[in-house]
Protein backbone atom coordinates (compact mmCIF):
# COMPACT_ATOMS: atom_id res chain seq x y z
CA UNK A 1 0.00 0.00 0.00
CA UNK A 2 2.76 2.39 0.98
CA UNK A 3 4.70 1.60 -2.15
CA UNK A 4 1.60 2.32 -4.25
CA UNK A 5 1.24 5.81 -2.74
CA UNK A 6 4.92 6.47 -3.33
CA UNK A 7 4.55 5.55 -7.02
CA UNK A 8 1.46 7.83 -7.30
CA UNK A 9 3.34 10.66 -5.56
CA UNK A 10 6.11 10.41 -8.14
CA UNK A 11 3.62 10.20 -11.09
CA UNK A 12 2.93 13.72 -12.46
CA UNK A 13 -0.16 12.63 -14.35
CA UNK A 14 -1.60 11.14 -11.20
CA UNK A 15 -0.94 14.35 -9.30
CA UNK A 16 -2.72 16.43 -11.94
CA UNK A 17 -5.73 14.14 -11.87
CA UNK A 18 -5.96 14.30 -8.08
CA UNK A 19 -5.63 18.07 -8.01
CA UNK A 20 -8.21 18.46 -10.76
CA UNK A 21 -10.62 16.22 -8.94
CA UNK A 22 -10.17 18.11 -5.70
CA UNK A 23 -10.57 21.48 -7.45
CA UNK A 24 -13.62 20.58 -9.50
CA UNK A 25 -16.19 21.47 -6.79
CA UNK A 26 -14.54 24.88 -6.39
CA UNK A 27 -14.61 25.52 -10.14
CA UNK A 28 -18.24 24.50 -10.46
CA UNK A 29 -19.16 26.50 -7.37
CA UNK A 30 -17.41 29.63 -8.65
CA UNK A 31 -19.12 29.34 -12.05
CA UNK A 32 -22.49 28.81 -10.39
CA UNK A 33 -22.05 31.78 -8.07
CA UNK A 34 -20.85 33.97 -10.96
CA UNK A 35 -23.92 32.98 -12.99
CA UNK A 36 -26.20 33.70 -10.01
CA UNK A 37 -24.53 37.08 -9.43
CA UNK A 38 -25.08 38.13 -13.01
CA UNK A 39 -28.68 36.94 -12.95
CA UNK A 40 -29.36 38.68 -9.61
CA UNK A 41 -27.85 41.94 -10.89
CA UNK A 42 -30.02 41.76 -14.03
CA UNK A 43 -33.20 41.21 -12.03
CA UNK A 44 -32.24 43.99 -9.63
CA UNK A 45 -31.64 46.43 -12.48
CA UNK A 46 -34.93 45.47 -14.15
CA UNK A 47 -36.78 45.93 -10.88
CA UNK A 48 -35.09 49.31 -10.23
CA UNK A 49 -35.90 50.51 -13.71
CA UNK A 50 -39.54 49.54 -13.15
CA UNK A 51 -39.64 51.38 -9.80
CA UNK A 52 -38.05 54.49 -11.35
CA UNK A 53 -40.55 54.59 -14.20
CA UNK A 54 -43.54 53.95 -11.95
CA UNK A 55 -42.55 56.71 -9.50
CA UNK A 56 -42.22 59.21 -12.35
CA UNK A 57 -45.60 58.09 -13.76
CA UNK A 58 -47.15 58.92 -10.39
CA UNK A 59 -45.65 62.42 -10.37
CA UNK A 60 -46.74 63.02 -13.97
CA UNK A 61 -50.26 62.19 -12.82
CA UNK A 62 -50.02 64.73 -10.00
CA UNK A 63 -48.67 67.36 -12.40
CA UNK A 64 -51.71 66.72 -14.62
CA UNK A 65 -54.11 67.13 -11.73
CA UNK A 66 -54.87 63.41 -11.44
CA UNK A 67 -54.69 60.94 -8.57
CA UNK A 68 -51.73 58.61 -8.02
CA UNK A 69 -53.99 55.74 -7.03
CA UNK A 70 -52.67 52.41 -5.75
CA UNK A 71 -50.51 49.71 -7.29
CA UNK A 72 -51.87 46.57 -5.64
CA UNK A 73 -53.56 45.30 -8.81
CA UNK A 74 -50.95 45.51 -11.55
CA UNK A 75 -52.40 42.97 -13.99
CA UNK A 76 -55.79 44.73 -14.06
CA UNK A 77 -54.54 48.32 -13.80
CA UNK A 78 -56.08 51.18 -15.81
CA UNK A 79 -55.21 54.86 -16.29
CA UNK A 80 -56.97 55.55 -12.99
CA UNK A 81 -53.98 53.95 -11.25
CA UNK A 82 -51.01 55.37 -13.15
CA UNK A 83 -48.27 53.71 -11.06
CA UNK A 84 -49.74 50.23 -11.51
CA UNK A 85 -50.54 50.92 -15.17
CA UNK A 86 -46.95 51.93 -15.84
CA UNK A 87 -45.74 48.70 -14.23
CA UNK A 88 -48.20 46.71 -16.31
CA UNK A 89 -46.87 48.25 -19.53
CA UNK A 90 -43.16 48.33 -18.78
CA UNK A 91 -42.24 45.59 -16.34
CA UNK A 92 -39.77 43.12 -17.82
CA UNK A 93 -39.05 40.35 -15.28
CA UNK A 94 -40.70 37.50 -17.17
CA UNK A 95 -43.33 35.51 -15.36
CA UNK A 96 -43.29 37.44 -12.09
CA UNK A 97 -45.50 40.29 -10.95
CA UNK A 98 -43.89 42.26 -8.12
CA UNK A 99 -45.59 43.33 -4.95
CA UNK A 100 -45.93 47.10 -5.00
CA UNK A 101 -46.50 49.94 -2.57
CA UNK A 102 -46.96 53.54 -3.72
CA UNK A 103 -47.02 56.39 -1.20
CA UNK A 104 -47.73 60.09 -1.77
CA UNK A 105 -46.09 61.79 -0.02
CA UNK A 106 -43.45 59.24 0.97
CA UNK A 107 -43.57 57.93 4.51
CA UNK A 108 -39.76 57.69 4.71
CA UNK A 109 -36.81 59.51 3.18
CA UNK A 110 -36.11 63.15 2.61
CA UNK A 111 -39.38 64.10 0.89
CA UNK A 112 -42.02 63.18 3.47
CA UNK A 113 -43.36 66.75 3.47
CA UNK A 114 -43.46 67.07 -0.33
CA UNK A 115 -47.06 66.65 -1.50
CA UNK A 116 -45.88 66.12 -5.08
CA UNK A 117 -43.39 63.35 -4.29
CA UNK A 118 -44.22 59.70 -5.01
CA UNK A 119 -42.28 56.75 -3.59
CA UNK A 120 -42.66 53.31 -5.15
CA UNK A 121 -41.38 50.16 -3.42
CA UNK A 122 -41.23 46.87 -5.37
CA UNK A 123 -40.33 43.36 -4.28
CA UNK A 124 -40.13 39.98 -6.02
CA UNK A 125 -39.02 36.49 -5.05
CA UNK A 126 -37.03 34.61 -7.67
CA UNK A 127 -35.14 31.33 -7.15
CA UNK A 128 -31.51 31.32 -8.28
CA UNK A 129 -30.47 28.30 -10.35
CA UNK A 130 -27.32 27.37 -8.40
CA UNK A 131 -27.43 28.85 -4.92
CA UNK A 132 -31.11 28.05 -4.73
CA UNK A 133 -30.14 24.41 -4.20
CA UNK A 134 -28.55 25.35 -0.90
CA UNK A 135 -31.03 27.95 0.40
CA UNK A 136 -34.00 27.02 2.54
CA UNK A 137 -36.10 29.94 1.22
CA UNK A 138 -36.32 31.99 -1.98
CA UNK A 139 -34.50 35.34 -1.61
CA UNK A 140 -36.41 38.62 -2.03
CA UNK A 141 -35.20 41.36 -4.39
CA UNK A 142 -36.32 44.90 -3.57
CA UNK A 143 -36.12 48.29 -5.25
CA UNK A 144 -37.38 51.73 -4.26
CA UNK A 145 -37.58 55.02 -6.13
CA UNK A 146 -38.81 58.50 -5.24
CA UNK A 147 -39.65 61.14 -7.84
CA UNK A 148 -40.98 64.67 -7.51
CA UNK A 149 -41.32 68.00 -9.28
CA UNK A 150 -38.13 70.06 -9.32
CA UNK A 151 -37.22 73.45 -10.85
CA UNK A 152 -36.04 73.24 -14.46
CA UNK A 153 -35.08 76.83 -15.19
CA UNK A 154 -36.22 80.44 -15.33
CA UNK A 155 -38.37 81.45 -18.30
CA UNK A 156 -39.61 84.76 -19.65
CA UNK A 157 -41.46 83.43 -22.72
CA UNK A 158 -44.14 80.76 -22.71
CA UNK A 159 -46.29 79.38 -25.57
CA UNK A 160 -49.45 77.70 -24.31
CA UNK A 161 -50.35 75.76 -27.49
CA UNK A 162 -50.93 72.13 -26.51
CA UNK A 163 -51.42 70.71 -29.99
CA UNK A 164 -48.95 69.15 -32.47
CA UNK A 165 -48.12 72.60 -33.87
CA UNK A 166 -44.92 74.61 -33.57
CA UNK A 167 -45.22 76.80 -30.52
CA UNK A 168 -42.03 78.92 -30.69
CA UNK A 169 -40.69 80.13 -34.01
CA UNK A 170 -37.69 82.40 -34.47
CA UNK A 171 -37.76 83.31 -38.12
CA UNK A 172 -36.25 85.50 -40.81
CA UNK A 173 -33.05 87.27 -39.87
CA UNK A 174 -34.02 87.75 -36.24
CA UNK A 175 -31.30 88.01 -33.63
CA UNK A 176 -33.08 86.95 -30.46
CA UNK A 177 -31.08 87.29 -27.28
CA UNK A 178 -32.91 86.23 -24.14
CA UNK A 179 -31.12 86.12 -20.82
CA UNK A 180 -33.76 83.65 -19.73
CA UNK A 181 -35.57 80.59 -21.08
CA UNK A 182 -38.46 79.82 -23.41
CA UNK A 183 -41.03 77.03 -23.07
CA UNK A 184 -43.88 75.67 -25.16
CA UNK A 185 -46.56 73.12 -24.32
CA UNK A 186 -46.62 72.06 -27.97
CA UNK A 187 -46.65 68.30 -28.51
CA UNK A 188 -45.12 68.59 -31.98
CA UNK A 189 -41.71 67.06 -32.72
CA UNK A 190 -40.87 70.58 -33.96
CA UNK A 191 -42.27 72.34 -30.89
CA UNK A 192 -39.59 75.06 -31.00
CA UNK A 193 -37.67 75.95 -34.15
CA UNK A 194 -35.29 78.58 -35.48
CA UNK A 195 -35.34 78.96 -39.26
CA UNK A 196 -33.92 81.13 -42.02
CA UNK A 197 -30.98 83.18 -40.80
CA UNK A 198 -32.24 83.40 -37.23
CA UNK A 199 -29.80 83.49 -34.33
CA UNK A 200 -31.25 82.59 -30.95
CA UNK A 201 -29.53 82.83 -27.59
CA UNK A 202 -31.82 81.54 -24.87
CA UNK A 203 -31.48 78.88 -22.22
CA UNK A 204 -33.13 76.67 -21.39
CA UNK A 205 -35.52 76.03 -24.28
CA UNK A 206 -38.11 73.52 -23.17
CA UNK A 207 -41.07 71.76 -24.78
CA UNK A 208 -43.55 68.99 -24.19
CA UNK A 209 -42.69 67.73 -27.67
CA UNK A 210 -39.37 67.63 -29.51
CA UNK A 211 -36.86 70.38 -30.26
CA UNK A 212 -34.79 69.81 -33.40
CA UNK A 213 -31.08 70.49 -33.05
CA UNK A 214 -30.03 73.50 -35.08
CA UNK A 215 -27.05 75.70 -35.77
CA UNK A 216 -29.39 78.62 -35.11
CA UNK A 217 -29.45 77.88 -31.37
CA UNK A 218 -26.66 79.54 -29.41
CA UNK A 219 -23.63 77.52 -28.33
CA UNK A 220 -24.65 77.44 -24.67
CA UNK A 221 -28.33 76.72 -25.22
CA UNK A 222 -29.74 73.89 -23.13
CA UNK A 223 -32.53 72.07 -24.98
CA UNK A 224 -35.13 70.33 -22.79
CA UNK A 225 -37.53 68.31 -24.98
CA UNK A 226 -40.25 65.97 -23.68
CA UNK A 227 -40.88 67.90 -20.49
CA UNK A 228 -44.16 68.04 -18.53
CA UNK A 229 -46.59 70.76 -19.57
CA UNK A 230 -46.15 74.06 -17.76
CA UNK A 231 -49.05 75.87 -16.08
CA UNK A 232 -50.54 79.13 -17.26
CA UNK A 233 -48.74 81.59 -14.95
CA UNK A 234 -51.77 83.90 -14.83
CA UNK A 235 -54.56 81.31 -14.90
CA UNK A 236 -56.07 82.63 -11.66
CA UNK A 237 -56.17 86.29 -12.73
CA UNK A 238 -59.82 87.27 -13.33
CA UNK A 239 -61.29 89.57 -15.94
CA UNK A 240 -62.14 92.85 -14.17
CA UNK A 241 -65.55 94.50 -14.09
CA UNK A 242 -65.49 98.23 -14.92
CA UNK A 243 -66.59 100.60 -12.18
CA UNK A 244 -67.43 103.39 -14.65
CA UNK A 245 -69.63 103.42 -17.77
CA UNK A 246 -67.75 102.63 -20.98
CA UNK A 247 -66.87 105.61 -23.18
CA UNK A 248 -65.27 106.27 -26.54
CA UNK A 249 -61.55 106.88 -26.58
CA UNK A 250 -61.89 110.36 -28.02
CA UNK A 251 -59.31 112.93 -26.97
CA UNK A 252 -58.72 116.01 -29.09
CA UNK A 253 -55.00 116.08 -28.35
CA UNK A 254 -54.47 112.45 -29.35
CA UNK A 255 -52.66 113.38 -32.53
CA UNK A 256 -49.08 114.05 -33.64
CA UNK A 257 -47.33 117.13 -32.27
CA UNK A 258 -50.13 117.87 -29.78
CA UNK A 259 -49.88 118.35 -26.00
CA UNK A 260 -49.74 115.13 -24.00
CA UNK A 261 -52.93 113.33 -23.03
CA UNK A 262 -52.92 112.10 -19.42
CA UNK A 263 -55.63 109.76 -18.15
CA UNK A 264 -55.76 109.32 -14.40
CA UNK A 265 -58.55 107.25 -12.81
CA UNK A 266 -59.61 107.74 -9.22
CA UNK A 267 -58.22 105.36 -6.62
CA UNK A 268 -59.74 101.91 -7.14
CA UNK A 269 -61.57 102.99 -10.29
CA UNK A 270 -61.57 100.66 -13.31
CA UNK A 271 -62.08 102.74 -16.44
CA UNK A 272 -63.69 101.34 -19.60
CA UNK A 273 -63.42 102.21 -23.29
CA UNK A 274 -65.72 100.67 -25.91
CA UNK A 275 -63.90 101.99 -28.97
CA UNK A 276 -60.44 101.20 -30.26
CA UNK A 277 -57.68 102.90 -28.30
CA UNK A 278 -55.56 104.15 -31.19
CA UNK A 279 -52.48 106.03 -29.99
CA UNK A 280 -51.48 108.82 -32.39
CA UNK A 281 -49.96 111.38 -30.04
CA UNK A 282 -48.43 111.18 -26.57
CA UNK A 283 -50.78 109.31 -24.24
CA UNK A 284 -50.15 108.46 -20.58
CA UNK A 285 -52.28 106.08 -18.54
CA UNK A 286 -51.91 106.61 -14.82
CA UNK A 287 -51.86 103.82 -12.23
CA UNK A 288 -54.92 101.58 -12.45
CA UNK A 289 -56.78 99.04 -14.58
CA UNK A 290 -58.30 99.94 -17.97
CA UNK A 291 -60.86 97.73 -19.73
CA UNK A 292 -61.19 97.79 -23.51
CA UNK A 293 -64.66 96.34 -24.14
CA UNK A 294 -64.83 94.80 -27.64
CA UNK A 295 -62.01 97.15 -28.63
CA UNK A 296 -58.33 96.90 -29.52
CA UNK A 297 -55.15 98.73 -28.62
CA UNK A 298 -53.35 100.17 -31.65
CA UNK A 299 -50.31 102.30 -32.34
CA UNK A 300 -48.61 102.66 -35.70
CA UNK A 301 -47.41 106.26 -35.74
CA UNK A 302 -43.63 106.40 -35.33
CA UNK A 303 -43.77 109.70 -33.45
CA UNK A 304 -46.45 108.50 -31.02
CA UNK A 305 -45.80 107.33 -27.49
CA UNK A 306 -47.75 105.20 -25.03
CA UNK A 307 -46.89 105.41 -21.36
CA UNK A 308 -48.46 103.04 -18.87
CA UNK A 309 -47.38 103.86 -15.30
CA UNK A 310 -48.16 100.88 -13.06
CA UNK A 311 -51.24 100.08 -15.10
CA UNK A 312 -52.88 97.09 -16.78
CA UNK A 313 -54.81 97.28 -20.05
CA UNK A 314 -57.41 94.49 -20.33
CA UNK A 315 -58.85 93.38 -23.68
CA UNK A 316 -62.23 91.69 -23.20
CA UNK A 317 -65.92 91.91 -24.08
CA UNK A 318 -69.08 92.29 -22.03
CA UNK A 319 -71.06 90.46 -24.68
CA UNK A 320 -71.37 86.79 -25.62
CA UNK A 321 -69.48 86.94 -28.93
CA UNK A 322 -65.88 86.10 -28.05
CA UNK A 323 -64.72 87.13 -31.51
CA UNK A 324 -65.29 90.71 -30.34
CA UNK A 325 -62.43 90.50 -27.87
CA UNK A 326 -59.82 92.92 -29.13
CA UNK A 327 -56.09 92.50 -29.60
CA UNK A 328 -52.95 94.61 -29.52
CA UNK A 329 -51.39 95.92 -32.72
CA UNK A 330 -48.41 98.01 -31.67
CA UNK A 331 -46.18 98.55 -34.68
CA UNK A 332 -44.07 101.60 -34.07
CA UNK A 333 -43.81 104.44 -31.62
CA UNK A 334 -42.36 104.55 -28.11
CA UNK A 335 -43.56 102.30 -25.32
CA UNK A 336 -42.90 103.07 -21.66
CA UNK A 337 -44.79 100.47 -19.66
CA UNK A 338 -44.65 99.22 -16.06
CA UNK A 339 -47.20 96.97 -14.33
CA UNK A 340 -48.98 97.34 -10.99
CA UNK A 341 -46.80 96.39 -8.03
CA UNK A 342 -49.65 94.91 -6.01
CA UNK A 343 -53.16 93.54 -6.47
CA UNK A 344 -54.64 90.89 -8.79
CA UNK A 345 -52.98 92.38 -11.90
CA UNK A 346 -49.54 92.58 -10.35
CA UNK A 347 -46.85 92.14 -13.01
CA UNK A 348 -49.20 92.37 -16.06
CA UNK A 349 -49.19 95.32 -18.47
CA UNK A 350 -51.51 93.99 -21.22
CA UNK A 351 -54.03 91.19 -20.56
CA UNK A 352 -56.15 89.60 -23.27
CA UNK A 353 -59.18 87.65 -22.04
CA UNK A 354 -58.41 83.91 -22.20
CA UNK A 355 -61.85 83.38 -23.79
CA UNK A 356 -60.62 85.01 -27.01
CA UNK A 357 -60.76 83.04 -30.23
CA UNK A 358 -57.67 81.02 -31.03
CA UNK A 359 -54.91 82.28 -33.29
CA UNK A 360 -55.87 85.94 -33.21
CA UNK A 361 -52.90 88.19 -33.90
CA UNK A 362 -51.06 90.14 -31.22
CA UNK A 363 -48.11 92.32 -32.28
CA UNK A 364 -45.59 94.12 -30.08
CA UNK A 365 -43.07 96.31 -31.88
CA UNK A 366 -41.85 99.42 -30.12
CA UNK A 367 -39.03 101.64 -31.25
CA UNK A 368 -35.47 101.65 -29.96
CA UNK A 369 -36.21 104.06 -27.11
CA UNK A 370 -38.96 101.90 -25.62
CA UNK A 371 -38.80 100.63 -22.05
CA UNK A 372 -40.96 97.64 -21.09
CA UNK A 373 -41.28 95.99 -17.70
CA UNK A 374 -43.88 93.33 -17.01
CA UNK A 375 -45.93 90.75 -18.90
CA UNK A 376 -47.86 90.70 -22.14
CA UNK A 377 -50.50 88.04 -21.53
CA UNK A 378 -52.44 86.72 -24.53
CA UNK A 379 -52.83 82.94 -24.01
CA UNK A 380 -55.03 82.47 -27.09
CA UNK A 381 -53.14 84.71 -29.50
CA UNK A 382 -50.30 84.25 -31.94
CA UNK A 383 -48.02 86.77 -30.29
CA UNK A 384 -45.31 88.32 -32.46
CA UNK A 385 -42.52 90.19 -30.77
CA UNK A 386 -40.61 92.25 -33.29
CA UNK A 387 -37.88 93.67 -31.13
CA UNK A 388 -35.84 96.66 -32.13
CA UNK A 389 -32.22 97.25 -31.25
CA UNK A 390 -31.96 99.51 -28.23
CA UNK A 391 -35.24 98.54 -26.53
CA UNK A 392 -34.95 98.29 -22.77
CA UNK A 393 -36.65 94.99 -21.88
CA UNK A 394 -34.73 93.95 -18.81
CA UNK A 395 -37.84 92.68 -17.05
CA UNK A 396 -40.33 91.64 -19.71
CA UNK A 397 -42.35 88.44 -20.05
CA UNK A 398 -44.57 87.22 -22.87
CA UNK A 399 -47.26 84.54 -22.79
CA UNK A 400 -49.13 83.60 -25.95
CA UNK A 401 -50.76 80.67 -27.70
CA UNK A 402 -47.84 80.71 -30.11
CA UNK A 403 -44.76 82.94 -30.02
CA UNK A 404 -43.05 84.35 -33.10
CA UNK A 405 -39.78 86.24 -32.76
CA UNK A 406 -38.67 88.56 -35.55
CA UNK A 407 -36.39 91.58 -35.71
CA UNK A 408 -33.72 92.05 -33.06
CA UNK A 409 -35.29 90.85 -29.83
CA UNK A 410 -33.70 91.05 -26.42
CA UNK A 411 -35.35 90.05 -23.16
CA UNK A 412 -33.94 89.78 -19.69
CA UNK A 413 -35.31 88.90 -16.30
CA UNK A 414 -33.36 91.10 -13.95
CA UNK A 415 -36.46 92.62 -12.39
CA UNK A 416 -36.19 95.60 -10.01
CA UNK A 417 -37.00 94.78 -6.41
CA UNK A 418 -40.66 95.49 -5.68
CA UNK A 419 -41.51 96.07 -9.34
CA UNK A 420 -44.37 93.56 -9.30
CA UNK A 421 -42.96 91.74 -12.33
CA UNK A 422 -41.14 88.44 -12.10
CA UNK A 423 -40.06 85.61 -14.41
CA UNK A 424 -41.66 82.17 -14.53
CA UNK A 425 -40.09 79.20 -12.82
CA UNK A 426 -40.20 76.02 -14.87
CA UNK A 427 -40.83 72.58 -13.46
CA UNK A 428 -39.48 69.17 -14.34
CA UNK A 429 -40.01 65.66 -13.00
CA UNK A 430 -36.91 63.92 -11.68
CA UNK A 431 -35.89 60.98 -9.57
CA UNK A 432 -34.57 62.28 -6.27
CA UNK A 433 -34.05 59.12 -4.20
Peptide bond into 105 cis (omega under 30): yes
pLDDT digits (tens, 9 = 90+) for 142-182: 999 999 999 888 899 999 999 999 999 988 777 777 888 99
Confidence grade of residue 29 (pLDDT, cut at 50, 70, 90): low
Q: Given pLDDT bands bounded at 50, 70 and 90, which one contains residue 23?
A: low
The pLDDT assigned to 185 comes to 96
Alpha carbon distances (Å) from 203 to 123, 124, 152, 253, 325 = 41, 43, 11, 44, 34
Per-residue pLDDT band at 389 (split at 50, 70, 90): low
Give the pLDDT score at 164.
Answer: 96
What was the pLDDT predicted at 42? 80
Say whether pTM exceeds 0.85: no
Model pLDDT, residue 414: 78
d(CA 183, CA 163) in angstroms, rounded, equals 14
Decide: 403 and 184 in contact? Cβ < 8 Å. Answer: yes
Query: How is 322-370 classified by DSSP, letter by letter?
Result: GGG---EEEESSEEEE---SSSTTTTEEEEE-TTSPTTEEEEEE--TT-
The answer, yes or no, to whether residue 133 has pLDDT greater than 90, is no
| C-alpha pair distances (Å), 307 with each of 54, 286, 311, 373, 387 | 52, 8, 9, 12, 18
> Can you give the residue ranges of every domain in the chain?
2-138, 152-428
What are 45-104's pLDDT values in tens digits?
A: 888 999 999 999 999 999 888 899 888 888 888 888 899 999 888 765 556 788 899 999
Identify the residue with better confidence: 272 or 7: 272
Distance CA 68, CA 266 (A): 50
Determine the pLDDT at residue 33: 59
Q: Which of 195, 170, 237 is nearest to 375 (CA)?
A: 237
Q: Of the candidates 157, 164, 176, which has an alpha carbon nearest to the alpha carbon of residue 230?
A: 157
- For residues 107-114, average pLDDT: 92
Which residues have CB under 8 Å from 160's CB, separation 6+?
Answer: 167, 184, 185, 232, 379, 380, 399, 400, 401
Return the pLDDT at 180.
Answer: 86
CA dihedral 260→266→267→269, nearest 10 degrees, is -110
Among residues 352, 311, 293, 306, which one has the least CA distance to residue 328? 352
How confident is the model over 42-56, as pLDDT tens digits?
A: 888 888 999 999 999
Strand, coil or helix: 44: helix
Phi, psi of 24 (to 5 degrees): -55, -45
Average confidence (pLDDT) over 16-40 = 61
Give tens-digit pLDDT for 299-335: 988 889 999 999 999 999 999 999 999 999 998 899 9
User: Which parts of 64-205 fold into alpha helices (H)?
Assistant: 82-90
Per-residue DSSP letters for 9-40? HH-HHHHHHHHHHHHHHHHHHHHHHHHHHHHH
pLDDT tens digits along 341-382: 999 999 999 999 999 999 899 999 888 788 899 999 999 999
pLDDT of residue 88: 87
Helix (H/G/I), strand (E/B), else coil: 65 = coil
**Region 397-401 average pLDDT:** 95
pLDDT digits (tens, 9 = 90+) for 192-246: 998 888 888 888 999 999 999 888 888 888 899 999 899 999 999 999 999 999 9
Lowest mean pLDDT segment, chosen from 34-38, 60-64, 128-132, 397-401? 128-132
pLDDT at 408: 75
Q: How many CA atoms lie within 13 A of 333 on its CB side?
A: 25
**What is the three-class DSSP state of 4?**
helix
- pLDDT at residue number 195: 84
User: Cα separation of 282 and 289, whole Å?
Assistant: 19
- Whole-number mean pLDDT of the chain? 86
Amino acid sequence: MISSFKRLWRDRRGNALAIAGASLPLVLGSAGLASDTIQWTLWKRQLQRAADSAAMAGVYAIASGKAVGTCTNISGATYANPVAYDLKKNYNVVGITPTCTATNPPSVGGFTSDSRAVRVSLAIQKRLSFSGMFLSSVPTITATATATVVPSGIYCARAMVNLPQTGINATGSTKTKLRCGMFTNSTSMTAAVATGNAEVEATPIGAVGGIPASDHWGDNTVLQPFMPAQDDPFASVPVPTPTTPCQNFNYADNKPNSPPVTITPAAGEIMCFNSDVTIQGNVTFGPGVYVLDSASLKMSTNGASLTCNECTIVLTTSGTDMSKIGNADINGGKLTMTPPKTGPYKGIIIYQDRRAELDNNFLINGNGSSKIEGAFYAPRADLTFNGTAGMDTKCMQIVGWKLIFTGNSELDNVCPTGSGASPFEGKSIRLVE
